[in-house]
A = this chain, B = another copy of it.
């Protein structure tokens, strides 16, 4: 127990320093450097057990050479921040060390999951008492569930007979949507060529007319994914217009709100998801916009029974029907997993502690971020190029494009070496590499955003 408390000391120090701006975001080393053993930090496994003192050193080193994703100047991913209530929730979860498959061994967590999913469905806007859902290991798996459930709804015999029991099916998603829809189409046996990419407007939103044009082109249209908050631009597809087309052609409408779903909590900004209540399923990751520790992702389904029907295999050793309690609470057979990590408690606890703060934070974030940038982003993704002085005089053309393409990676590399801040970059379609700053960390202030911009200028000035 002494050992446990010594680790707690290490961890609380880490947390304190994470919020201290004089601490670096990371202490970068190349893989080969870490593998060679930095200052005695030996990652290799041997058959010689180490002393508990050495284990404590290992814990310190693991944190030292890692990345502080909760640091106010970490703008690199959609999941940032380090919420203390959420953290405590995760510590309790690991201490309880149980499994979501049955009420028998996770009574409290199973009920928390049910009540929270119910609340989330109400916020989506589905009629009270309807619907279903489950927490899954991340948004990609949640999106995969949506495709599976849609297939089960239209072609239930695929479960037993395989894809041969269905005609050639096509799925639709935007060219800006998350790659998990593509992963799902490959994994589930549709094939990525049967996932049709939809054109977007200049702000990254699906053009509904393109969907309708492609629906009538051939094969059987089954599923449409509309994204609420795309990964790069933070774009919101026009759900109502897409829903009209889905209804007309009898297609499943899924809304991937992994990133933007959090806005449903904000009265002021939820209009960006107008029409979401018409969706058949919704992905919503509290571990992104709502700052819940990793992982916490929900797939919500409007029609009850499909999740169970699609996935249940009635394993006799786990889901006995002759238990003394109401076995409707044994929710494990709805999952494609068997054992399932408890992802609900940290979210439930954060909701209990700070639902009001969460709602206000989400509203304030959008309200304050958007006006900073002249191009009016739709969400808290802010995308921009940095043009070094040497490029400013160049005319638009191939040479400028090629040189600009190399700017963001170079700045990012210097930034990581110096360890002061972190931000992502990528190309998109015709656009060469540009920065994508993500603002979702409650600890980040206006001055941290300014700091990032200054750092980009500092590193990029001489390029």
Contact = CB atoms under 8 A, between A and B. Distances in A.
A85 interface: yes
A416 to B, nearest CB: 7
Contacts of A106: 66-67
A20 to B, nearest CB: 13
Interface string A422-445: 101111100001001000000000
Interface string A276-294: 0000000000010000011
A323 interface: yes
B3 A34 contact: no
Interface string A326-357: 10010000011111111001001101111111
28 contacts: A4-B12, A4-B87, A7-B88, A31-B111, A43-B111, A45-B115, A46-B355, A49-B355, A50-B352, A54-B352, A55-B88, A62-B96, A67-B106, A77-B99, A94-B293, A140-B335, A140-B339, A141-B336, A161-B193, A179-B313, A183-B313, A186-B313, A187-B188, A189-B189, A295-B341, A316-B426, A316-B427, A322-B406
Contact of A4 (B15, B34, B187, B325): B15
A260 to B, nearest CB: 16
A384 interface: no
Interface string A116-127: 100100000000
B70 A107 contact: no
Copies in the complex: 2
Interface stretch (A163-171, A220-228, A366-374): A163-171
Interface in A76-95: 76-77, 79, 82, 84-85, 87-88, 90-92, 94-95
Interface in A38-67: 43-50, 52, 54-55, 58-59, 61-63, 65-67
A261 interface: no
Contacts of A111: 31, 34-35, 43
Nearest to A351: B45
Nearest to A56: B88
A79 B338 contact: no
A416 B162 CA distance: 41
Given A77-B105, A325-B31, A164 B163 contact: yes
B30 A325 contact: yes
Contact of A161 (B191, B322, B433): B191
A295 to B, nearest CB: 5
A240 interface: no
A186 B164 contact: no
